[in-house]
Structure 1
Amino acid sequence: MSDRYASFVQTGAGRALVKRLGLPDPPRLRRHTPGDPLVPGPVLLGSSAGGRLAEPVGKILTAAGVTLPDPAASPDAGARFAALVYDATGISDSTELRQLYDFFHPHARALLPSGRVIVLGSPPAECDSPREATAQRALEGLTRSIGKEFGRGVTAQLVYVTPDGDAGTPVSLESTLRFLISGRSAYVSGQVIRVGTGTATAPADWDRPLDGQIVLVTGAARGIGAALARVLARDGARVVALDVPAVGDALAAVVNEIGGSAVQLDLTAPDAPTRLAEHLAGRHGRVDVVVHNAGITRDKTLGRMDADRWDSVIDVNLSSQERINDVLLERDLIPAGGRIVSVSSIAGIAGNRGQTNYATSKAGVIGLVDSLAPVLHERGISLNAVAPGFIETRLTARMPLMLREAGRRMNSMAQGGLPVDVAETIGWLAWPATGAASGNLVRVCGQSLLGA
């Protein structure tokens, strides 16, 4: 469903009305198109005194074709930047936080529309002293405020990078930077991402980061799942698209479009995990990425909800993920270097009236990531989750008008996201190069005002 208000404010009359009345002003977001440069302009890279990441990040960005102005040169008062990247790992005391002001204050208005702000820090739990941990935790307030303050489609993220990394850490740092600085992250803002250790492999071609990978996508016939299948196939994956038999025609259309293969299967059937495992083993011998996207809603307030509504939502959205993981891992079908990505929801963070069953299941998905990611790390497998906010789908199009408009406007982008925004984020977490980033929950919500 189109957002008529967002279209109207791009007209002359709309611009005038927004300015006069102070109405929400949805910007045009820069989204990824194959063949686009990583960024549409130069990137300003700054560093705190003693920062440990500025040099490797500079090399990463330069190798990716990004122009980095010389920080020692005299500043150009009229310079405009596609991104501001700041290495804050050298900040070890709250008194040193002034360095953030000194970098961002003079450049706050120098970002191009849909610009990017990325701050790099050290995980507070891995800092050498309480004072350093305190200062590093303060970075979250900075980036989340910038995301709400700069406007014009600008996004802001904090990336914590473990100081004692392994060979996978710099690869996943590059992968994460490439995602966050590009148009792929258009609807991701105000997030905290952790890059640790693990198995990560850089692709031969960053335009096809999933070449040769076998990727399973559940709930692939429509909406986010269909967009996800397209994005993964575009990035080189061989997609195994799964959905229930009732939507077999829609599933076949997606598979024919992307050149993938289809599996019609009800994930709540007692033998579903075994049948799926046997299919993957027989056809492909493995599955490199599992994306748990299948989900349903059965909305009612808790006092009016029958037991079947509760049971079916928990079973599809949460328990089926656990059962599939168990069988695939038990049979060693997910190799070292594999990735699992689960789809949660902002409802699992903030709750939602009339969705106690749905919110419970999606909060459980977050719990699944928190509890299982450390276990899978020992096997060289990463596990992450994404939490979509208001996304323009056929389901949200059926919402009452006022609720739909509230969902669209109550975020830093003043608009709903698109299924491709969720798909791009999942795609990044599915890249082999992102394998050292595990245990993350990444919200795809335009920095919604709901939740944390």
Structure 2
Amino acid sequence: MADRYLHLTGTAPGRFLTRRLGLPQPAPLRRWRLETPRLDGPLLHLTAGSSSVTDELAKALAATGLTVDPQAAQPGGIVLDATGVGAVADLAQVHAALHPVVRSQAPGGRIVVLGSRPSSEDHHQAAAQQALEGFVRSLGKEAGRGTTAQLLRLAADGTPEALVSAAESTLRFLLSPRSAYVSGQVIELTAATPGPTPDPAAPLTGRTALVTGAARGIGASVASVLARDGAHVVVLDVPQAQDDLVRTADRLGATALPLDITAPDAAARIAAAAPDGLDVLVHNAGITRDRRLANMPADRWAQVIEVNLGSVLRTTDELLTSGALNRGGRIVATASIAGIAGNHGQTNYAAAKAGIIGLVRSLGPRAAAEHGVTVNAVAPGFIETRMTAAVPFLIREAGRRMNSLSQGGLPVDVAEAVAWFAQPGSGAVNGQVLRVCGQSLLGA
């Protein structure tokens, strides 16, 4: 459904009226398109504190395709290397670096602050590095004009070359139109060596991906973006959605697999559909059965828990233990803001989505060590789908505006985040839950 308020604020009378009334003024987001694959404006590389990765970071930023210009008057992206901030006094350098330039950034810009893991042995360093999190979350809420801000924490140990190499795929994602609806996020990298990416324009070439719940909506968009990035995609949905599923598969040159993900033999049938093994497994299938707990019968509770959580755990375990997921593989599950902040009438749904977060945080390190597979999740906020189009008008408008970007996201925003997790070069991104919510004002 079209966002008429967003259209109104793009007109001169609308800007005047909303400014006078103190109403939100959302900026149209610049998403990735083949014709416009990069940000507008050059990249500004700044440093606060003494950094050991300055030279390697400069090389990585040059490889993003953006022009790095230390004198940029209207930068499209700003990267502040704060990995060397180790004391409270060093935070003054963070202010000194960004204070003069934030107002001059181009609309739809990106701000990425690089930090280090807070130390368990140096509480002064830990305090200064944790301060960066509050700083970035606040900056995301202040920036306006479609600008986003993120904190990227490098691994605790490693050579400068290894630390920056691990961050390259994440920097490419955050410093591009692909991350339009991601803001105020903290991403922590491991010390794992990323896989090779011969063609950054098609990083999933030669890889097989399976997406559940892919007949339409977010799942179909995920399948589309993975196919765009070079993957052969197997799209899965319930047999009742077979017509839509086949249309999606035909459009993408994908393989359709009509299957109820809760079926006892679901994992075996998935493995059979990918005889050479899966490289990417995307758990997107999900249902809602909303009702307040006092009015919720047991069957409505059980259905949501089984589809949204139980089936995810079961199929993941079976595919991992059977070897159907190839080494270097990626598992991406779909959580939700409801699992972080809760939601009225959704105790079942929120419980299941919070369970996904627990799965990711626990399984990620073990899956990497035992199977060479990473496990991450996306947590969408208000995304414009047929489901949200059916929400009553006032509730829908509140959902759209209650984030730092003052608008709903699109299915492609979730899909772009999934595709970043799925890349071979994202091997150092593990056990992470990325909120794709425009920095929702609800939750942590």
Q: TM-score, normalised by structure 2?
A: 0.97
Q: Secondary structure at the match of 2:45?
A: strand
Structure 2 counterparts to residues 427-446 of structure 1, below 5 A: 427-446=419-438
Among 321, 329, 337, the alignment partner of 1:346 is 337
Q: Secondary structure at the match of 1:311?
A: helix
Residue 190 in structure 1 maps to residue 184 in structure 2: yes
Among 267, 271, 280, the alignment partner of 2:265 is 271
Q: Secondary structure at the match of 1:81?
A: coil
Unaligned residue ranges in structure 2 (runs of 5+):
none
Match of 2:248 in 1: 254
Match of 2:46 in 1: 46
Give the CA deviation at 1:197: 2.2
Residue 162 in structure 1 maps to residue 155 in structure 2: yes
Match of 2:142 in 1: 149
Match of 1:415 in 2: 407
Give the CA deviation at 1:105: 0.6
CA distance in 2, matches of 1:324, 1:187: 30
CA distance in 2, matches of 1:7, 1:35: 23
Structure 2 counterparts to residues 199-214 of structure 1, below 5 A: 199-214=193-208
Match of 2:310 in 1: 319
Q: Secondary structure at the match of 1:387?
A: strand
What letter is aligned with 2:316?
N
Unaligned residue ranges in structure 1 (runs of 5+):
none
Structure 2 counterparts to residues 281-292 of structure 1, below 5 A: 281=275, 285-292=276-283
Match of 2:387 in 1: 395
Moved over 6 A (4+): none
Match of 1:224 in 2: 218
Residue 34 in structure 1 maps to residue 26 in structure 2: no
Q: Secondary structure at the match of 1:290?
A: strand
What letter is aligned with 1:445?
C
C-alpha spacing 1:221/1:171, structure 2 compared with 1 (3 Å): farther
Structure 2 counterparts to residues 365-376 of structure 1, below 5 A: 365-376=356-367
CA contact (8 A) 1:168 1:201 kept: no
What letter is aligned with 1:10?
G
Residue 22 in structure 1 maps to residue 14 in structure 2: no
CA distance in 2, matches of 1:286, 1:26: 44
What letter is aligned with 2:302?
D
CA contact (8 A) 1:92 1:136 kept: yes
CA contact (8 A) 1:143 1:157 kept: yes
Among 263, 280, 296, the alignment partner of 2:287 is 296
Match of 1:62 in 2: 62
Residue 382 in structure 1 maps to residue 374 in structure 2: yes
Match of 2:80 in 1: 86
CA distance in 1, matches of 2:235, 2:314: 18
CA contact (8 A) 2:29 2:108 kept: yes
CA distance in 2, matches of 1:217, 1:175: 22
CA contact (8 A) 2:179 2:417 kept: yes
What letter is aligned with 2:12?
G
Give the CA deviation at 1:128: 5.2
Give the CA deviation at 1:130: 1.4
CA distance in 2, matches of 1:12, 1:36: 26
CA distance in 2, matches of 1:39, 1:317: 36
Give the CA deviation at 1:440: 0.6
CA distance in 2, matches of 1:360, 1:434: 28
Q: Secondary structure at the match of 1:143?
A: helix
CA contact (8 A) 2:57 2:164 kept: no
Q: TM-score, normalised by structure 1?
A: 0.95
Q: Secondary structure at the match of 2:24?
A: coil
Q: Secondary structure at the match of 2:107?
A: strand
CA distance in 1, matches of 2:407, 2:392: 16
Please say which of residues 27-36 and 108-117 is displaced more in the overlay: 27-36
Supply the RMSD in Å over aligned alpha carbons.
1.4
CA distance in 1, matches of 2:111, 2:20: 29
Give the CA deviation at 1:37: 4.5
CA contact (8 A) 2:49 2:90 kept: no
